[in-house]
Amino acid sequence: MSADYNPLELLVCVASRIIEDNSTAFVGTGVPMAATMLAQKLHCPNVTAIFEAGGVAPILPGLPISVGDSRTSHKGFMASTMNDIMETAQRGMVDYGFLGGAQIDMYGNLNSTMIGDDYRKPKVRFPGSGGANDIGSLCWRTVVITPMDTRRFVEKVDFVTTPGYLTGKGAREKAGLPLGSGPYKVITNLAILGYDEETCRMRIESVNPGVTIEDVHKNCGFELLEAPQIEKTHEPTEEELRILREEVDPDGYIIRR
């Protein structure tokens, strides 16, 4: 049994476990940075982390506060440019891309642009894509990290900022995106979600400690499928929490928000 932990610590630990050693991960600000740093210290010493502003494969000395932080190039292979990083993804050399968004639908399409039905006069305007469209279009496996509620998990996103499986199986390929690429996991405060291979629809794969399958369905704005066998998400271990709290984020930039 692990020590007490908060929901953000659980998100970071779960996200870190997805990363494989010798893989390449396109890392964004916040939880993905903490998760990548934790993975690098625990089980992925050879992960190649790349950052939008140009850092490639750093040995992170501390938690960066943005993708342009100088720490994203510390002892790295290269301090490059955004163009080089996006080209690397376009050439099919990035295994994992981490994303978030204001809305997500059953096919993993993401909206980080606007809420409303009029682009010129939205109810809410968000920052937009940044590199999110490139990451979701070109990385082989896209991992979304987001809180789960019916406002975020919607039947249809108000704007497709980042393509998931678009309208279902085969739609990405018809749109010209790489065969075999696309959404992989959605890590939330309630459950870990994946995608059904036949329909490309989102499904429940694991529920977090203290959460029921009914809780997950209740907090989703569309019908979720269920994996043949739904697991229980493993709690953070004492070692994961120790490294996260003492070495990755001792100042609590992420885990104490």
> Considering Cα of 54, then 25, then 146, then 256, what sign does the dihedral take?
negative
Bridge partners (DSSP) listed for residue 33: none
* Helix, strand, coil tally for the chain in percent (to 5): 25, 20, 55
Whether residue 144 lies inside any domain: the answer is yes
Q: Contact at 8 Å (CB) between 108 and 144? A: yes
Question: Average of pLDDT values for 86-107?
Answer: 95
Q: Is the pLDDT of residue 2 over 90?
A: no
DSSP 130-183: TTHHHHHHHSSEEEEE----TTTB-SS-SS-SB-SSTTSTTHHHHTTPPTT-SE
Whether residue 255 lies inside any domain: the answer is no
User: In a 10 Å sphere around its CB, with 0-12 CB exposed, 13-18 middle and 19+ buried, how is residue 51 labelled?
Assistant: buried
Whether residue 256 lies inside any domain: the answer is no
Catalytic-labelled residue, pool 52, 205, 235, 240: 52
Whether residue 64 lies inside any domain: the answer is yes
Question: Average of pLDDT values for 119-133?
Answer: 94
pLDDT tens-digit series, residues 70-90: 999 999 999 999 999 999 999
Of the chain, the percentage scoring pLDDT greater than 70 comes to 99
As a whole number, the mean pLDDT across the chain is: 95
Whether residue 202 lies inside any domain: the answer is yes
> How many angstroms separate the CA atoms of 13 and 32, rounded?
10
CATH of the domain at 107: 3.40.1080.10
Question: Average of pLDDT values for 227-233?
Answer: 97
Whether residue 1 lies inside any domain: the answer is no
- Annotated catalytic, 226? no
In this prediction the pTM is 0.93
Looking from the CA of 69 toward its CB, the CA atoms found within 13 Å total: 18
- Give Cβ neighbours of residue 139 (< 8 Å, ≥ 6 apart): 26, 89, 94, 95, 96, 97, 181
Q: Contact at 8 Å (CB) between 96 and 143? A: yes
3-class secondary-structure state, position 129: coil
> How many angstroms separate the CA atoms of 34 and 30, rounded?
7
The confidence score (pLDDT) of residue 231 equals 97
Whether residue 142 lies inside any domain: the answer is yes
The confidence score (pLDDT) of residue 1 equals 45
Take residue 83 and report the two structure tokens written for it.
């163009």
Q: Which residue do the tokens 């006069």 mark?
A: 121
Question: Average of pLDDT values for 113-130?
Answer: 95
pLDDT tens-digit series, residues 134-168: 999 999 999 999 999 999 999 999 999 999 999 99
Domain total for the chain? 1
Whether residue 53 lies inside any domain: the answer is yes
Enclosing domain of residue 80: 7-248
